[in-house]
A and B are shown apart, each in its own frame.
Chain A
Amino acid sequence: MAIGNRITNTLNAAPGRSFTHLCDRWARVRRQPHPTAARALVFAIVLCLGSAQGWTQQSDQQQMRGLDDEVQEIKSDVLRISAELNLLEEKLLYPSGTEVAVFVALAQGDAMRLDAVRLQIDGQLVAHYIYSAKELEALRKGGVQRIYVGNVATGDHKLEVLVDGKLDGGEDFSRSEQFAFRKEVKPKLVELTLAGPNAGNTPIVLGEW
């Protein structure tokens, strides 16, 4: 993709080169067959073909690069603020004593098109997520989605998972499972690995962390 972009980026005609100019220049080349001069001109044309650098003054470029440095600094600062805010949010909203987080992953190589996941904890609907193509692709590449984070009391709980999707052949696929998990004092992480029935995998596998 990056290669493609680069190419597209260099395809543009340089402004200011007119038909007439080209003819004039070619006529000049014909009049001056000196090999070194011709070579230099040829190379200049080669560069000109792919170059998109003529658009701006050196000072503009310098300004842009200076601003780029500033933007990088801002990004670093904002990331630091974000990290602190995240910790604060976690402490305030999801203290470790009650925190439970549910993650969704797809089984490796599974071709099911995941459409939606619905979660109930102890009979209460806590998440109902519909997946976009981009999110599905990210899951297929091995990403893991944190679908729910919330609070439960220590002790035993029931998790009900409903998965909707489409199989390779286009037929609908729906499966629900119930699982029990135990919340201890530390944060509880629950991983759900989902798969279609065709790959021989169990459709919903619970992993506790």
Chain B
Amino acid sequence: MVRVSHRLLGLGLAVGLVCRPASGADLKDLYFGEALYRAYQGQYFDALQRLDTELAQYHGLDEPGLDTLHYHINGAEFAVGDFELYYRMHHRAGRAIKAVLEGAVDEAVRNEAAFRLARIHFQKDQLDDALQALERIQGTVPEEIRDDVEFLRANIYMATNRPSEAVVVLQQLHSDASLAGFSAYNLGIALLQDGRAQEAIEQLDAAGQLPAGDPAGLAIRDKSNLVLGSILFESTSFERAQQSLDRVRLEGPFSNQALLRAGSAEVAAEHYDRALVPWSILVDREPTDAAVQEAMLAVPHAYASLNLNGRAALMYGRALELFSNQIERVDASIGSIREGRFLSALVREEIRQDENWVIRLRSLPDEPETYYLMELMASHDFQTALQNYLDLEDLRSRLIAWQTSLDAFSDLIRLRGQNYDPLLPGIDAQFRELDSRMHLRLEQRRHLGERLHAMLTAPRPDQLATADEQVAGNRLALIEKQLGDSQDPGSVALRRRVARLRGALTWRLETEYHERLTAAHVHLAELNAHVDALNRQYDAFVRARQAATHSYVGYDAQIDRLRQRVGDELQRVGLVMARQGHLIETVAINQLESRRERLVAQQTQARYAVADSYDRAARAQSGPEGR
């Protein structure tokens, strides 16, 4: 009972994608933006894959503060939890949000994380944990979740059979328009659960008259009126019940139920003619709907009560025909599911493009009549099972594609090997020769640089002599040596000439020293540009050479391991998918069989009733004569 009420009272607990999008100019990390782009399209696997990689890289950095993700790290941590939640990975989502809770984050962020954790626990029926998570909320609560927190708290109280506490919370909740209808409805239910029936009726009456604009608000208002109508009916307040049921929209999701009950309320007050008004509307609606099928018997019953037995007999005949047709449809659906068409229809890509894909299944030829499964499909567990089946199918497709990718990678590596293996030894030999020549030249340049640098503090004009000057200097030295100390007049005259020439040479070297030193530095700087270009080219070559090796060496083990993992996972997915599919089929067939039993019972009832009505009509016709 508690579980049932939990599900019911959890109405309206929105699970919106609340990660903080860093849009437009705010965005600092493109890959985070890409993850959001995927998530906004409902591609949560891709979003998670992107964001997981980004977060792993971020946390692995020595200085994460320098990474662009740092600007969005809180949003990213939240987003990953959101994506996991949407991808129905509650275990991981819970862990992700706990990590935010335990991290060094400010109060508002921690409170929001606690709220999200509580919401996950609530969805998983872990109500004590949900309450504990809510108790961690202290201090500043972000404005945008303040109402949601209290609404969730009330839901947990109601699910844990603490309606009086729920009433207190809901009475203090002044939620915005999006939540107002749900709060009002839940307050009515909480009062009812608390045994305050009169207050509950008043509250549901108020909830049933709240202004609403959006489909959700209108639907919950209808539901309030329907529930109130049922309660009033049970307490034999037929007129008030009727008023409440009349407020349910004719086109809303609760209209069939309301029409059925409205007619029943009139019948209970013995207003059979008035009961025919709502029921006559109902009988022309979707014949697979249970309320419509009820009405198919209710209408002739009302005619019979009005002594219009001929009319009743005709209507019972129509009901009989409808039940026979519907039994055939249900049988066909059961057969279709047994033949595996339900599951194969589920995984059709074009079906899943539509938000109402489950309903669209009906339009496919030879597919089961899913309208009979709508109630089943509305249940959380069955929806999860269906979604899991679809997710497994998606994973299966990915794994198969990855197997192909891994084969392609192996091919790529093999071809690269075939290309590079014969080329690289020759290139390496050529490179080694160029490398040694380059090192020699660089060493020379370094030496020149050192000498020039030394000349800044200890001038050495001779070292800046040109080649001709050096040759001339050497020849003068040779002549001086050849002349020796000879004192003959010719030698003395030659020595004077040599001295003059040396003097002229020294003069030139000394006087032009600064210019030459400057020119030497200019030339060295020019050489630097060439050396830099050479170094760049050298580095580029080394990178290209390394890239060539990295492009095909060292991947085999990793690819083999991945291939193994992909294969294992594919097998596992196949097994779980088969089990999941079988369970879905079994539950669906059980549901259809249950509907079939009901239809057969109704068919029998109609069969007897039609005969009875004809008898009564015949008796009525022959009555005056007989009398």
Q: Using a CB–CB distance below 8 Å, which chain A residues touch chain B?
A: 1-4, 6-20, 22-23, 26, 29-30, 35, 38-39, 41-43, 45-47, 49-53, 55-56, 60-61, 63-65, 67-72, 74-79, 81-89, 91-92, 95, 97-98, 101, 103, 105-109, 134-135, 137-139, 141-146, 154, 185, 189, 191, 193, 209
B241 to chain A, nearest CB (A): 11
A67 to chain B, nearest CB (A): 5
The answer to the question of B388 belonging to the interface, with a C-beta cut-off of 8 Å to chain A, is: yes
What is the chain B residue whose CB lies nearest that of A142?
A: B23
The answer to the question of B382 belonging to the interface, with a C-beta cut-off of 8 Å to chain A, is: yes
When distances are taken between beta carbons in the complex, the residues of chain A under 8 Å from B36 are 138, 141-144
Query: Would you call the interface of chain A mostly helix, strand, loop, or mixed?
Result: helix
Q: Is the CB of B25 within 8 A of A108?
A: yes
With beta carbons under 8 angstroms apart, the residue of A45, A77, A138, A141 that contacts B230 is A45
Contacts A60-B583, A60-B586 known; 5 new A-B pairs at CB < 8 A = A22-B294, A49-B230, A76-B89, A88-B562, A142-B22
Given A52-B379, A55-B379, the answer on whether A63 and B583 have CB atoms closer than 8 Å is yes
With beta carbons under 8 angstroms apart, the residue of B1, B10, B391 that contacts A75 is B391
Assembly CA distance A95 to B195 (angstroms): 70
The answer to the question of B587 belonging to the interface, with a C-beta cut-off of 8 Å to chain A, is: yes
Q: Is the CB of A85 within 8 A of B21?
A: no
What are 21 A-B pairs with beta-carbon distances under 8 A? A3-B220, A7-B220, A11-B223, A12-B374, A12-B378, A13-B289, A18-B605, A45-B234, A49-B227, A50-B11, A51-B7, A55-B591, A56-B590, A82-B45, A85-B405, A138-B40, A138-B41, A142-B36, A143-B36, A143-B38, A146-B30
With beta carbons under 8 angstroms apart, the residue of B40, B381, B409, B579 that contacts A61 is B381
Assembly CA distance A17 to B298 (angstroms): 13
Assembly CA distance A154 to B10 (angstroms): 58
Assembly CA distance A123 to B380 (angstroms): 54
Assembly CA distance A65 to B189 (angstroms): 28
With beta carbons under 8 angstroms apart, the residue of A20, A26, A81 that contacts B402 is A81
The answer to the question of B385 belonging to the interface, with a C-beta cut-off of 8 Å to chain A, is: yes
What is the chain A residue whose CB lies nearest that of B125?
A: A65
Q: Which of B551-567 contact A (CB under 8 A)?
A: 551, 555, 558-559, 562, 565-566
What is the chain B residue whose CB lies nearest that of A144?
A: B33
Q: Is the CB of A89 within 8 A of B405?
A: yes
* Size of B's binding interface in residues, CB under 8 A: 132
When distances are taken between beta carbons in the complex, the residues of chain A under 8 Å from B8 are 10, 46-47, 50-51
Assembly CA distance A172 to B230 (angstroms): 57
B565 to chain A, nearest CB (A): 5
Assembly CA distance A149 to B113 (angstroms): 35
The list of the 7 closest CB pairs from A to B, nearest first, reads: A142-B23, A143-B37, A144-B33, A108-B24, A138-B40, A9-B378, A12-B375
Q: Is the CB of B409 within 8 A of A88?
A: yes
What is the chain B residue whose CB lies nearest that of A98?
A: B547
Q: Is the CB of B33 within 8 A of A105?
A: yes
Q: Is the CB of A42 within 8 A of B234?
A: yes
When distances are taken between beta carbons in the complex, the residues of chain B under 8 Å from A134 are 41-42
Q: Is the CB of B12 within 8 A of A19?
A: no
Assembly CA distance A135 to B68 (angstroms): 24
Assembly CA distance A108 to B236 (angstroms): 59
Given A85-B562, A141-B36, the answer on whether A19 and B30 have CB atoms closer than 8 Å is no
With beta carbons under 8 angstroms apart, the residue of A42, A85, A142 that contacts B33 is A142
Q: Is the CB of A71 within 8 A of B388?
A: yes
Given A3-B182, A88-B558, the answer on whether A81 and B566 have CB atoms closer than 8 Å is yes
Given A7-B11, A29-B236, A88-B555, the answer on whether A19 and B298 have CB atoms closer than 8 Å is yes
Given A106-B24, A138-B40, A209-B68, the answer on whether A78 and B569 have CB atoms closer than 8 Å is yes
Assembly CA distance A45 to B49 (angstroms): 46
Given A42-B235, A105-B27, the answer on whether A83 and B4 have CB atoms closer than 8 Å is no
B354 to chain A, nearest CB (A): 12
Q: Is the CB of A4 within 8 A of B215?
A: yes
When distances are taken between beta carbons in the complex, the residues of chain B under 8 Å from A72 are 88-92
Q: Which of B320-372 contact A (CB under 8 A)?
A: none
With beta carbons under 8 angstroms apart, the residue of A13, A47, A53 that contacts B379 is A53
A140 to chain B, nearest CB (A): 9
When distances are taken between beta carbons in the complex, the residues of chain B under 8 Å from A79 are 45, 48-49, 52
Q: Is the CB of A75 within 8 A of B569?
A: no
When distances are taken between beta carbons in the complex, the residues of chain A under 8 Å from B565 are 77, 81
With beta carbons under 8 angstroms apart, the residue of B34, B189, B219 that contacts A143 is B34
Q: Which of B581-609 contact A (CB under 8 A)?
A: 583, 586-587, 590-591, 594-595, 598, 601-602, 605
